[in-house]
């Protein structure tokens, strides 16, 4: 076996769509039918992931239900009724002790002060395990819930996001680490010299500060980002500490890895300050045949209406319902690209043009893995693939998307994790108490401590 990255360990996250990553997962008899609003279900899967020594669990979010054809949406429960992540994760933190708790929160329809306060609070509640996945929102339905008739344009979304994150990071430094003396003898609760006002006035926001939460155990909760467009890469190089990205070939992953790590120097950041973790829809069996049977059972359960609706969302809302399912994808007008997540849309268009997939084949591939890479096989086969991508510098780890929950996650923990541990590719136990400890990320010094 090649010796690259000897001594380094893979990082693993678990991405929890409530009933499972596959759009037909909820139809399986073993699925938790009310998963989105069942706390015991979330607690169980978080504890399974922690038993498997995963670095983190991650839940996505949107501040709207999906719009579209109700006949299709009624067959696809995900993102229609589920807990607010920042209400859910403190409760998860109380029933776990090591796994990181990471959630999406949009910069398009929040205020920086709110987000800074919520994630700092989560970091305290979890004793240093919080992470924020920074997104800009691409779902037009969200705009309608916040007084807007249309979504922010792609570049404006990112400009706003950069300023938003800078404010949040500034607010997280409102108090020095040792500001709270809490001394009864002197009657002094905090040192006034160690409180800092941000006094930010920018293009999109005006925020005085300070934050009414003490500096958190990690200094700053860990920042994640998921955009893979040109703008998204630049933003990630600037501030992200973890990146979730759909990558479908080792060559493509290596290019992304080299490009993103190479951009970091211009922001004074070393490459190791960012962990790249592509999505992996791993379907594992005790044999390859068993894994294939699991996959086919799921694929056969995809209702065409759901497949078309999911594909329509991926291409910015262009209605595909009137086209022949077994014909080619029609030309999608350019302006639809401004309404879609660019990475997902680019992947769909590439599959259609390079592989000549039909609409049915496209929705089966996309719906089966939500645009992530699908890997089907035995534990040895899946570990072989993961090791190759890791040792050949395509990834620092993976964000595992279990096709079904809890079964798909349990299969991965029971079969793949021991195989990775046997190869010394994955930890036997957690390195430390915080998410930063386990990801190998430094605790950031306060800007005010650095200045002094």
Domain containing residue 51: CATH number = 3.20.20.30
Confidence band of 145 (pLDDT split at 50, 70, 90): confident
Position 317 in a domain: no
Residues 6+ apart with CB under 8 A from 68: 309, 312, 313
Residues 6+ apart with CB under 8 A from 415: 284, 286, 378, 379
For the chain, the domain total comes to: 1
**What's the confidence (pLDDT) of residue 336?**
62
Distance CA 288, CA 291 (A): 5
- Tell which wins on pLDDT, 115 or 360: 115
Distance CA 346, CA 366 (A): 12
* pLDDT over threshold 90, residue 41: yes
Secondary element (H or E) of residue 206: strand 206-207
Position 349 in a domain: no
**What's the confidence (pLDDT) of residue 335?**
67
Position 5 in a domain: no
Residues 36-48 have a mean pLDDT of 97
Q: Which pTM does this prediction carry?
A: 0.91
**What's the confidence (pLDDT) of residue 318?**
84
Distance CA 21, CA 409 (A): 11
The torsion angle over the Cα atoms of residues 407, 412, 418 and 423, rounded to 10 degrees, is: 170
**Are the C-beta atoms of 304 and 323 separated by less than 8 Å?**
no
Instruction: Give the pLDDT confidence of 154-182 residue by residue, as tens digits.
Output: 778 889 999 999 999 999 999 999 999 99
Instruction: Give the pLDDT confidence of 74-105 residue by residue, as tens digits.
Output: 888 877 888 999 999 999 999 999 999 999 99
Confidence band of 1 (pLDDT split at 50, 70, 90): very low
Q: For helices 154-172 and 112-125, give the axis angle rounded to 10 degrees.
A: 50
Instruction: Give the pLDDT confidence of 201-219 residue by residue, as tens digits.
Output: 999 999 999 999 999 999 9
The residue to which tokens 């999608």 are assigned? 332
Instruction: Using alpha carbons only, give the angle 309, 310, 315 rounded to the nearest 5 degrees.
Output: 95
**Are the C-beta atoms of 446 and 177 separated by less than 8 Å?**
yes
Across the chain, mean pLDDT equals 91
Confidence band of 408 (pLDDT split at 50, 70, 90): very high
Q: Is 399 left (phi over 0), alpha (psi -120 to 50) or beta?
A: beta
The torsion angle over the Cα atoms of residues 248, 346, 403 and 75, rounded to 10 degrees, is: -160
Instruction: Give the pLDDT confidence of 284-308 residue by residue, as tens digits.
Output: 999 999 999 999 999 999 898 888 8
**Are the C-beta atoms of 165 and 223 separated by less than 8 Å?**
yes
Instruction: Using alpha carbons only, give the angle 90, 95, 98 rounded to the nearest 5 degrees.
Output: 90
Position 175 in a domain: yes
User: pLDDT > 90: what percent of the chain?
Assistant: 69
**Are the C-beta atoms of 362 and 351 separated by less than 8 Å?**
yes
Distance CA 282, CA 278 (A): 12
Position 75 in a domain: yes
Stretch among 68-77, 420-429, 430-439 having the lowest mean pLDDT: 68-77
Position 335 in a domain: no
* pLDDT over threshold 80, residue 343: no
Half-sphere exposure of 348 (CA within 13 A, CB side): 34
Position 219 in a domain: yes
- Tell which wins on pLDDT, 79 or 243: 243
**What's the confidence (pLDDT) of residue 451?**
61
DSSP-derived letter for residue 65 is P
Position 154 in a domain: yes
Domain with 402, as residue range(s), is 11-288+372-451
Distance CA 276, CA 346 (A): 20
Distance CA 181, CA 400 (A): 43
């Amino acid at each position: 076996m090649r010796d690259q990255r000897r001594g380094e360990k893979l990082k693993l996250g678990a991405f929890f769509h409530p009933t499972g990553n596959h759009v037909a997962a909820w139809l399986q008899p073993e699925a938790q039918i009310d998963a989105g609003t069942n706390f015991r279900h979330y607690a169980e899967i978080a504890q399974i992931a922690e038993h498997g020594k995963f670095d983190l669990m991650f839940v996505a979010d949107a501040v709207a239900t999906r719009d579209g054809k109700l006949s299709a949406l009624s067959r696809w429960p995900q993102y229609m009724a589920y807990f607010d992540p920042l209400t859910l994760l403190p409760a998860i933190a109380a029933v776990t002790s090591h796994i990181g708790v990471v959630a999406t929160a949009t910069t398009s329809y929040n205020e920086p002060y709110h987000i800074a306060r919520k994630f700092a609070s989560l970091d305290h509640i979890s004793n240093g395990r919080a992470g924020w996945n920074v997104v800009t929102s691409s779902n037009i339905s969200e705009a309608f819930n916040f007084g807007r008739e249309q979504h922010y344009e792609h570049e404006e979304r990112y400009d706003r996001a950069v300023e938003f994150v800078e404010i949040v990071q500034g607010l997280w430094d409102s108090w020095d680490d040792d500001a709270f003396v809490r001394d009864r003898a002197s009657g002094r609760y905090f040192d006034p010299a160690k409180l800092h006002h941000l006094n930010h006035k920018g293009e999109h926001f005006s925020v005085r500060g300070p934050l009414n939460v003490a500096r958190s155990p990690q200094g700053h909760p860990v920042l994640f980002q998921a955009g893979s467009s040109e703008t998204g890469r630049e933003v990630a190089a600037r501030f992200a500490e973890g990146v979730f990205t759909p990558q479908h070939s080792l060559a493509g992953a290596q290019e992304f890895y080299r490009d993103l790590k190479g951009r970091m120097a211009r922001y004074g950041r070393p490459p190791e300050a960012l962990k790249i973790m592509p999505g992996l829809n791993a379907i594992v069996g005790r044999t390859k045949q068993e894994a294939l049977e699991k996959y086919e059972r799921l694929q056969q359960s995809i209702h065409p209406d759901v497949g078309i609706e999911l594909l329509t969302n991926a291409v910015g809302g262009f209605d595909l319902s009137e086209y022949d399912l077994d014909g080619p994808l029609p030309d999608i007008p350019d302006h639809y690209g401004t309404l879609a997540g660019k990475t997902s849309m680019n992947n769909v268009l590439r599959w259609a043009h390079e592989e000549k997939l039909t609409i049915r084949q496209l929705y089966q591939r996309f719906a089966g893995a939500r645009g992530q890479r699908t890997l089907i096989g035995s534990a040895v086969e899946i570990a072989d693939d993961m090791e190759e991508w890791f040792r050949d510098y395509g990834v620092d780890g993976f964000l595992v998307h279990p096709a079904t929950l809890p079964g798909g996650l349990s299969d991965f923990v029971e079969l793949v994790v021991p195989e990775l541990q046997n190869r010394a590719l994955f930890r036997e136990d957690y390195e430390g108490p915080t998410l930063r400890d386990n990801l190998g990320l430094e605790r950031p010094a306060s800007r005010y401590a650095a200045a002094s």
